[in-house]
């Protein structure tokens, strides 16, 4: 599916044609910008490595259309305003291997991800870089800007053309890049490109780059801001629809394989297992679980509790050979394991592939260097990107584990880590609040006053913001909070921190309270205390919408007493609809 972002000022004939090539989203004027360019898509939207990036304060209508179409995106934050250069944060040229922009003003999310994925950062003085450039392909550009041409010509194929000859109301001239977009194998121009004095050179360059050319003779070549085309392939498709139930058989390997002790960690306490499980114990665990399950259950063996790929290679192979034996016999459908980013290599992945491991979970915890260092993680952010790239190149499913409230963490850093994680395109996420466990360095830091655990309210709030990132980008969050065990309970091994047996419910309830409050505020001018309001939600979300101990209803009914919640199967999970009468 092609999602095509166009300025609302585009020609009607042009819009009608583009509707035959995909779903068109028209960008309305944004009051933050100069009215002459305020509807240009490239002022609030970028496409970065197949992910849609949208300024969080972009026009509400854009988000409404995306949500209605169930299109994933990541929201970003920049302080945008009308005066240059406060309007250029997203106007970068981004290709597979390069980022060209006035780098002092590039949105931080675009810049950080591009740095971490080893894109070549090419600094130019022209802040309207995307408008000034026809991005023909990942390797070829057309521009009239001398600075862009000379900065990028050593890294890409470039055609330098004459400036001007493009209309932009209120300006002497517009940019050719602002008339263009690439849809599959065709470069499309908004207006009559044949009137441009360099038409023949442009046509020849496109032919050389094996691109087709389409332009509209009915009206002059007009800058409407770059056309942005997002190719969307539905994610998270269910691959095992024949199974009615999914069960994990947990195999805890304790602290085996971990090269160091993170400040927060005491795996032996968390797993209640001081020694790794023997092969006989693993076999016994598999047989015990299997005896209670039927053929309609999707059974996955999961090695948890340590860094699996860090243990002795012979022990790894013993575990994996046993798991593979059961998988070949059809008694297991999948094998997963958890490990550290710095314990991933081609040699390791070759071994995992040999034994048909399906899923690798990386304990990333944070994508902020200061947080990783303060937590004594022993790896850097670059190790995460390298490991993710390798894991994906081998075709494994990828899970990422994040923590909230680590030393030196802040809400801002936590949310940015989540957005960077979303750009890595994992298949699923786990989120754990930081707890202070007995016999850890974090406990000593607590007692020295050098670390303060998050309150429950803070942990729920920070995690809610992380959760929103992954909901918007349609990445499954399969767990929030540690699973309660006999040891992991407040007052036993957990001495401080936001432990709650229903932590996920607290987070989802907080999410729904914010969502409902925002929806009600939008309509508040037409509502009063006698207005009957029904909140329609998916049945599975009923308790979260009502809130833990009915907190959401108690809070909202103070202002809207005629509020009630009604389960409705037609409502998509984690969303609501208001019915007002």
Q: What is the mean pLDDT of residues 128-148?
A: 97
Euclidean distance between the first and the last CA atom of the chain, given in angstroms as a whole number: 37
Structure tokens belonging to residue 117:
């994925």
Residues in Cβ contact with 407 at an 8 Å cutoff, skipping those fewer than 6 apart: 263, 371, 374, 375, 442, 445, 450, 451
Residue burial 34-44, b: 16+ Cβ < 10 Å; e: rest: beebbbbbbbb
Structure tokens belonging to residue 69:
């179409």
Is residue 264 pLDDT above 90, yes or no? no
What kind and span of H or E run contains 160? strand 157-160
Q: CB–CB of 388/367 below 8 Å?
A: no
Least confident of 90-104, 116-130, 501-515, 548-562: 548-562
- How high is the pLDDT of residue 523? 81
Q: What is the mean pLDDT of residues 282-308?
A: 87
DSSP 380-427: -HHHHHHHHHHHHHTT-EEEEEEEES-TT--HHHHHHHHHHHHHT--S
Q: How much of the chain exceeds pLDDT 70, in percent?
A: 94
β-pairing verdict for 228-231 and 397-404: unpaired
Distance CA 49, CA 51 (A): 6
Residue burial 184-205, b: 16+ Cβ < 10 Å; e: rest: eeebbbbbbbeebebbeebbeb
Is residue 27 pLDDT above 60, yes or no? yes
**Look-up: residue for tokens 């003779």?**
217
CA 305 remoteness from chain centre: 26
Least confident of 137-151, 366-380, 447-461, 486-500: 486-500
Q: CB–CB of 544/502 below 8 Å?
A: no
Distance CA 76, CA 55 (A): 5
Structure tokens belonging to residue 353:
């592939």
Is residue 450 pLDDT above 70, yes or no? yes
Question: Quick count: other Cβ atoms within 10 Å of Cβ 50?
Answer: 12
Q: How confident is the model at residue 277 (pLDDT cuts 50, 70, 90)?
A: confident
Q: CB–CB of 372/379 below 8 Å?
A: yes
- How high is the pLDDT of residue 235? 60
Question: Quick count: other Cβ atoms within 10 Å of Cβ 212?
Answer: 12
Angle between helices 503-522 and 456-472 (to 10 degrees): 70
């Amino acid at each position: 599916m092609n999602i095509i972002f166009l300025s609302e000022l585009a020609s009607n004939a042009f819009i009608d044609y583009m509707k035959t090539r995909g779903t068109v989203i028209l960008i309305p004027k944004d009051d933050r910008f100069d009215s002459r360019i305020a509807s240009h898509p490239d002022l609030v939207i970028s496409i970065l490595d197949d992910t849609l990036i949208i300024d969080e304060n972009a026009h509400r209508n854009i988000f409404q259309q995306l949500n209605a179409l169930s299109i994933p995106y990541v929201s970003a934050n920049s302080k945008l305003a009308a005066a240059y250069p406060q309007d250029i944060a997203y106007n970068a040229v981004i290709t597979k291997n390069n980022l060209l922009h006035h780098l002092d003003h590039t949105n931080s999310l675009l810049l950080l991800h591009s740095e971490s994925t080893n894109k070549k950062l090419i600094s130019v003085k022209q802040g309207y870089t995307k408008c000034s450039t026809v991005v023909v392909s990942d390797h070829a550009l057309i521009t009239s800007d001398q600075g862009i041409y000379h900065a990028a010509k050593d890294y890409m194929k470039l055609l330098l053309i004459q400036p001007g000859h493009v209309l932009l109301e209120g300006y002497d001239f517009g940019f050719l890049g602002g008339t263009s977009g690439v849809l599959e194998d065709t470069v499309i121009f908004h207006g009559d490109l044949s009137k441009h004095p360099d038409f023949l050179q442009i046509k020849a360059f496109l032919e050389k780059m094996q691109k087709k050319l389409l332009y509209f003779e009915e009206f002059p070549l007009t800058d409407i801001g770059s056309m942005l085309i997002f190719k969307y392939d539905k994610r998270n498709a269910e691959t095992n629809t024949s199974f009615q139930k999914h069960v994990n058989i947990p195999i805890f390997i304790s602290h085996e394989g971990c090269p160091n002790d993170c400040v927060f960690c005491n795996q032996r306490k968390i797993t209640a297992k001081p020694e790794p499980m023997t092969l006989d114990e693993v076999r016994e665990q598999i047989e015990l679980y299997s005896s209670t399950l039927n053929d309609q259950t999707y059974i996955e063996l999961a090695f948890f509790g340590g860094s699996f790929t860090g243990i002795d290679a012979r022990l790894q192979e013993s575990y994996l050979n046993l798991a593979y034996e059961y998988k070949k016999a059809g008694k297991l459908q999948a094998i997963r394991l958890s490990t550290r980013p710095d314990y991933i290599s081609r040699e390791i992945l070759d071994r995992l592939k040999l034994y048909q491991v399906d899923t690798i979970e990386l304990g990333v915890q944070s994508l902020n260097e200061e947080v990783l260092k303060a937590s004594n993680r022993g790896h850097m952010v670059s190790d995460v990107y390298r490991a993710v790239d390798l894991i994906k190149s081998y075709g494994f499913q990828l899970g990422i584990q994040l923590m909230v409230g680590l030393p030196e963490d802040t809400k801002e850093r936590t949310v940015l880590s989540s957005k960077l994680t979303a750009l890595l395109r994992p298949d699923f996420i786990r989120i754990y609040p930081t707890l202070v466990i007995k016999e850890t360095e974090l406990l000593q830091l607590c007692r020295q006053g050098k670390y303060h655990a998050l309150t429950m309210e803070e942990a729920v709030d920070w995690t809610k913001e992380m959760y929103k990132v992954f909901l918007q980008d349609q990445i499954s969050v399969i767990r929030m909070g540690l699973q309660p065990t006999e040891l992991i309970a407040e007052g036993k091994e957990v001495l401080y921190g936001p432990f709650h047996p229903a932590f996920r419910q607290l987070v989802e309830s907080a999410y729904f309270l914010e969502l409902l409050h925002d929806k009600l505020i939008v309509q508040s001018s037409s509502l009063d205390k006698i207005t009957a309001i029904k909140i329609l939600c998916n049945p599975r979300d009923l308790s979260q919408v009502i809130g833990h101990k009915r907190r959401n209803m108690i809070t909202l009914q103070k202002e809207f007493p005629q509020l009630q919640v009604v389960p409705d199967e037609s409502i998509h999970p984690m969303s609501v609809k208001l019915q007002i009468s």
